[in-house]
A and B are shown apart, each in its own frame.
Chain A
Amino acid sequence: MRTKTKLVAWTLGSAAVVGAVGVLSALLSPAMAAGATRPLAGTFTLADGIFYAVAALTVAGAAAVAFSRNILYSALGLLASLLGAAGLYVFLSADFVAVAQVFIYIGGVLVLILFAVMLTNRIGEVNISNSTMGWASAAILCAAMLGLLLVVAFDVPWPVRVTGGAPTTAPLGHALLQQWLLPFELASLILLATLIGAIIIARKEIRAD
């Protein structure tokens, strides 16, 4: 019964977040439309609906990470958020980045986090996710940060010049092996060091008696 109430509460909360995002965008976007080239009329196409759905999925997942008391629900919220971010990459015509996001984040990092949750979360410990800084101060700080970032996002007259639209996988491969060859190889070195370091840190010590 309790889980059902929680599920209903989470659904309602996500719907509230979605509505908030929509209202916020509707309120803030006319203010910044002075120099923009988009049509102001109510042309709400299917693509816009999909964009808002993906953005709402991202934000709702992030909200679940931030506010859920159950760490497992937080991990599932992170799944939704990362999936939504991959959708945003698709909207930004960054196809390879979207696929890499799904492969690396959802297939790798999230599984790793789920393993860590299940290996470390003890059932009796319910108050492990209590606040450490106090909700009030943290909320004030985050709200100030959010306000600042939103003002920057909507008030700065960005010199927009839309480009792209072509598939990026093959050009990205060429760029990685020509222009960014050194960072590419360094990344492989870092991954190797990470692999060895993670094994050394996380292994159990076997003491010889």
Chain B
Amino acid sequence: MIPTLSHYLAVAAILFALGLFTVLTRRNAVAVLMGVELMLNAANVNLVAFNKFMVGGLAGQTFALFVIVLAAAEAAVGLAIVLSIFHTFKTIDVRAADLMRE
């Protein structure tokens, strides 16, 4: 059985680094949100992997479920804010949104 804990941690590390890169380099607000989703997914993979290989029980999986729920809430509110910014400023460049009203 080759996939050990380190393999999962490596995949999660690559996911996290790519998500961080997305957040750092993108100016499109939706793409920034995608990067955040990638990083949350990396954390989730780590949680479930540690749950399986070290802790046992169900705590890690339950925590991963809560992370998924909060990520869904974050995506909904974040995209609503993006739509609102687009209506206000006619762009979703994150550098343009420096005011909270017109």
Contacts and interface: CB of A to CB of B under 8 A. Distances in A.
A28 B13 CA distance: 14
A3 interface: no
B16 A149 contact: yes
Interface of A, secondary structure class, is helix
Contacts, number: 270
Interface string B8-40: 111111111111111011111011011101100
What range describes how many residues of B lie at the interface?
35 or more
Contacts of A8: none
Contact of B92 (A100, A120, A130): A120
Contacts of B57: 163
Report, nearest first, the 8 A-B pairs whose CB atoms are least far apart: A153-B9, A149-B13, A163-B56, A202-B80, A146-B17, A138-B24, A194-B73, A198-B80
7 contacts: A44-B2, A74-B22, A105-B72, A120-B83, A163-B55, A172-B61, A191-B73
Interface of A: 21, 24-25, 28-29, 32, 36, 38, 43-45, 47-48, 51, 55, 58-59, 62-63, 65-66, 71, 74-75, 78, 81-82, 85, 88-89, 91-94, 96-97, 100-101, 104-105, 108-109, 112-113, 115-117, 119-121, 125, 128-133, 135, 138-139, 141-143, 145-146, 149-150, 152-154, 158-164, 168, 171-172, 175-176, 180, 183, 187, 190-191, 194-195, 197-199, 201-202, 204
